[in-house]
Amino acid sequence: MALWGAPADQQAAFLRMQFDAQRAHYKRHFSLADHEILTINGEPVGRILVDRSRDELRLVDIALLPEHRGSGIGSVLVRELLDESVAIGKPVRVRAFKPSRAVDFYERLGFRRIADEGVYWALEAAP
């Protein structure tokens, strides 16, 4: 929005609206999911939201602050989820926006595409 010349207050209002909509969606569809703030030395660096249902482990969201991306934190977290999947015999499933680097990230960790959902790929890692 800054590139479009939007004032800082409009940018903040738009981001707040997006955040509130996302939070409402997660609460409605993943009300029992574990939501953790990721920290390093007490400083927040990101978040992860995992829904553990009867049939699957759903990686609902994982996000790292830009300065912590590419550091291996995401890989460690997803590998821990994959280890949990093996221990309990349930697949890990995630959706990723097609044009994002996330698809390659998940495929490098052993996920495979299982469905084309329009702008998203549904991916799965079997235990």
Residue spans per domain, the chain: 1-31, 32-125
pLDDT tens-digit readout, 63-113: 999 999 999 999 999 999 999 999 999 999 999 999 999 999 999 999 999
pTM of this structure: 0.85
Instruction: Give the pLDDT score at 104.
Output: 96
Instruction: Give the pLDDT score at 80.
Output: 97
Which CATH architecture group holds 32-125?
A: 3-Layer(aba) Sandwich (3.40)
Question: CA 43 to CA 56: how far, in whole Å?
Answer: 31
Residue 4 scores a pLDDT above 80: no
pLDDT tens-digit readout, 34-65: 999 999 999 999 999 999 999 999 999 999 99
Radius of gyration of the chain (CA): 16
8-state DSSP, 90 = -
Query: Which residue has 């660096």 as its token pair?
Result: 45
Question: CA 126 to CA 115: how far, in whole Å?
Answer: 15
**Cβ neighbours around 73 below 10 Å, total:** 18
